[in-house]
DNA sequence: GTATCTGTCGATACACTGTATCAGTTGCAG
DNA sequence: CTGCAACTGATACAGTGTATCGACAGATAC
């Protein structure tokens, strides 16, 4: 016994919570993308063994769900009238995806029923009071679908641009030759003229133009 | 020399090609989902060592890109007039996603510039001849975005239903208690009435309702 | 016909993943 | 003070994508 040393000052085992875990995971994902979120890395960021996390989450997918729901805390659409509310919803989701690009990879990929997600759904539904339910339900679904797809593509494009040099149109240098060759085959004549002569909208304009289409269509139904 | 055996009948080394690899990968993904697509499994399906594939693809992501482009071979929108073409595009993508559910996980997640994808783009652009380019470009983008999001959510729902028992509304049994408790807190009053009293559209109706909104919005701009 | 070169192939290895298992320690109930 | 139950975290496992590199095939040069 005299030889046996006292137990080393056990590091004050870090107090854990679902929230702390999720925050750490989000920090990692913001910094280095979704691939950087592994249970081991999250645990390491919290000075904890990997298996410790399983007391708080059952599986990695659950952690991802929690991350998505956490971000939904900042998605609180507001405004007067159905159109303003839906517009606000769309912009809020897009804004969140700009700050957390990994959100684009997760949106729509799993059923979302967390409290924050429900709360933003509640805000939308409440803000659209007065609209006929038979119109409201598919309208919300349509806006959600559009936003998911639009944000996904926008973030994808942003990543591609970033990957091929910092410059915004460096992208054209990377894929330009390939596309030029593809167009030179003559198999895509219409596409070629569209690309050459069509408008070059930036991300903001593209997103809003599409959103306007959706809202206009909904508006036509509402005022029938 | 007499002791040295002849070389064993070397198995007629399977002729390989990008196409065969992609087909094998698609077969795996169709059967057991995207997670079942690993380079080792694809190689095994072709009776080949894993490293052999690297002569044909540089990375796994490239393989996934090739899979997406291969499916686009069947997406050839057609019809008379811009509306029919866009409708056909949307339905074709959705149809493809029904046969290859993994497509929902990949759509919009990477830049798509493969020959088949370009060809379906060409078909859309060609079918919409006559529409002003400043309207056409964002219109195609909007429909694409909507379809990506809508298909994603539809497939996600389908998987969730399948995971919680085969029954279509068994889902309500699985999540019902949780939702009932959530609604019982009184924090989501509007959402609760929407869920209870709102319409219960099936997947087809939901998809088409949203698509109609988008197309109506585009139509308003075109005929302005 | 022999020797050298070239390129392809695939066994092995590496770093990493999510998660099951379970011995051992801890703190608590009696 | 003892016995128990819960929790922790080291270890292990099966799997991943891909780098490396020895060995062997076919082509080329003499």
Tell me: the pLDDT tens digits for A186-210?
899 999 999 888 888 899 999 999 9
Out of B109, B197, B198, name the one closest to residue A156 (CB).
Answer: B109
- In angstroms, the CA of A39 and the C1' of C29 are apart by 35
Burial class (CB in 10 A: 0-12, 13-18, 19+), A82: buried
Under the banding of pLDDT at 50, 70 and 90, the label for residue A180 is confident
pLDDT of residue A179: 84
Cα Rg of chain B, angstroms: 23
Closest CA to A160 of A78, A80, A104, A219: A104
pLDDT digits (tens, 9 = 90+) for B118-165: 999 999 999 998 899 999 999 999 999 999 999 999 999 999 888 776
pLDDT of residue A11: 47
Between A44 and B9, the higher pLDDT residue: A44
Between B8 and B224, the higher pLDDT residue: B224
pLDDT of residue A172: 59
Residue B196: pLDDT over 60: yes
pLDDT of residue B167: 52
Q: Which nucleotides of D are covered by protein (CB under 7 A)?
A: 7-11, 15-20, 25
Out of A118, A134, A206, name the one closest to residue B199 (CB).
Answer: A134
Residue B103: pLDDT over 60: yes
pLDDT of residue A2: 47
Answer yes or no: do A191 and B133 touch at CB < 8 A. no
Protein residue ranges contacting nucleic strand D, Cβ under 7 Å: A 13, 48-52, 55; B 7, 10, 37-41, 50-51, 54, 59-61
CA–CA distances in Å: residue B17 to residues A10, B20, B46, B52, B63: 58, 5, 11, 11, 12
Instruction: Over range B181-207, report the average pLDDT.
Output: 91
Residue B2: pLDDT over 90: no
Between A180 and A151, the higher pLDDT residue: A151
Under the banding of pLDDT at 50, 70 and 90, the label for residue B178 is confident
Answer yes or no: do A148 and B147 touch at CB < 8 A. no
Under the banding of pLDDT at 50, 70 and 90, the label for residue B220 is very high
**Quick one: tokens of B23?**
């087909």
**Mean of pLDDT over chain A:** 89
- In angstroms, the CA of A57 and the C1' of C20 are apart by 15
Answer yes or no: do A213 and B209 touch at CB < 8 A. no
The 10 Å Cβ neighbour count of residue B154 is 21
Burial class (CB in 10 A: 0-12, 13-18, 19+), A103: buried
Closest CA to B210 of A94, A136, A155: A136
Question: Cα torsion for B151, B154, B159, B160, to the nearest 10°?
Answer: 140
The answer to whether the Cα torsion of A73, A74, A80, A84 is positive or negative is negative
Helix axes A133-163, B189-197, angle to 10 degrees: 110
**Mean of pLDDT over chain B:** 89
The residues, ordered by sequence, that sit 6+ positions from B28 with a Cβ below 8 Å of its Cβ are: B36, B37, B41, B42, B45
**Quick one: tokens of B90?**
């949307």
Distance from the Cα of A96 to chain B's closest Cα (Å) equals 17
Instruction: Over range B92-103, report the average pLDDT.
Output: 98
pLDDT digits (tens, 9 = 90+) for A81-139: 999 999 999 999 999 999 999 999 999 999 899 999 999 999 999 999 889 999 999 99
Determine if strand C comes within 7 Å of the CB of B53: no
Instruction: Over range B82-92, report the average pLDDT.
Output: 97
Under the banding of pLDDT at 50, 70 and 90, the label for residue A8 is very low
Residue B37: pLDDT over 50: yes
CB crowding A169-186: b at 16 or more within 10 Å, else e: eebeeeeeeebeebbeee
- In angstroms, the CA of B3 and the C1' of C3 are apart by 25
The residue of chain A nearest to residue B189, with distances taken between CA atoms, is A122
Answer yes or no: do A150 and B149 touch at CB < 8 A. yes
Residue B202: pLDDT over 80: yes
Determine if strand C comes within 7 Å of the CB of B103: no
Least confident of B1-10, B13-22, B51-60: B1-10
Answer yes or no: do A121 and B188 touch at CB < 8 A. yes
Burial class (CB in 10 A: 0-12, 13-18, 19+), A28: buried
Distance from the Cα of B11 to chain A's closest Cα (Å) equals 38
pLDDT of residue A167: 52
Answer yes or no: do B216 and A221 touch at CB < 8 A. yes
Under the banding of pLDDT at 50, 70 and 90, the label for residue A49 is confident
- In angstroms, the CA of B51 and the C1' of D30 are apart by 36
């Amino acid at each position: 016994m005299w030889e046996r040393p006292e137990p080393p000052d056990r590091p004050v085992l870090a107090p854990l919570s679902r929230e702390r875990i999720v925050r750490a995971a989000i920090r990692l994902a913001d910094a280095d993308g979704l691939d950087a979120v592994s249970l081991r890395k999250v645990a390491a960021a919290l000075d904890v063994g990997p298996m410790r996390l399983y007391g708080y989450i059952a599986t990695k997918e659950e952690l991802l769900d929690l991350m998505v729901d956490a971000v939904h805390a900042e998605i609180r659409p507001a405004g007067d009238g159905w159109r303003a509310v839906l517009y606000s919803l769309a912009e809020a989701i897009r804004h969140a995806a700009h700050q957390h690009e990994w959100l684009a990879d997760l949106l729509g990929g799993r059923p979302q029923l967390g409290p924050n997600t429900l709360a933003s759904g509640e805000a939308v539904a409440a803000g659209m009071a007065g609209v006929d339910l038979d119109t409201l339900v598919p309208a919300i679904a349509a806006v959600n679908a559009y936003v998911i797809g639009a944000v996904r593509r926008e973030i994808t494009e942003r990543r591609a641009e970033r990957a091929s040099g910092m410059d915004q149109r460096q992208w054209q240098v990377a894929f330009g030759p390939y596309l030029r060759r593809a167009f030179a085959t003559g198999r895509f004549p219409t596409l070629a003229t569209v690309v050459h002569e069509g408008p070059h909208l930036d991300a903001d304009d593209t997103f809003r133009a599409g959103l306007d289409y959706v809202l206009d269509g909904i508006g036509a139904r509402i005022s029938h």
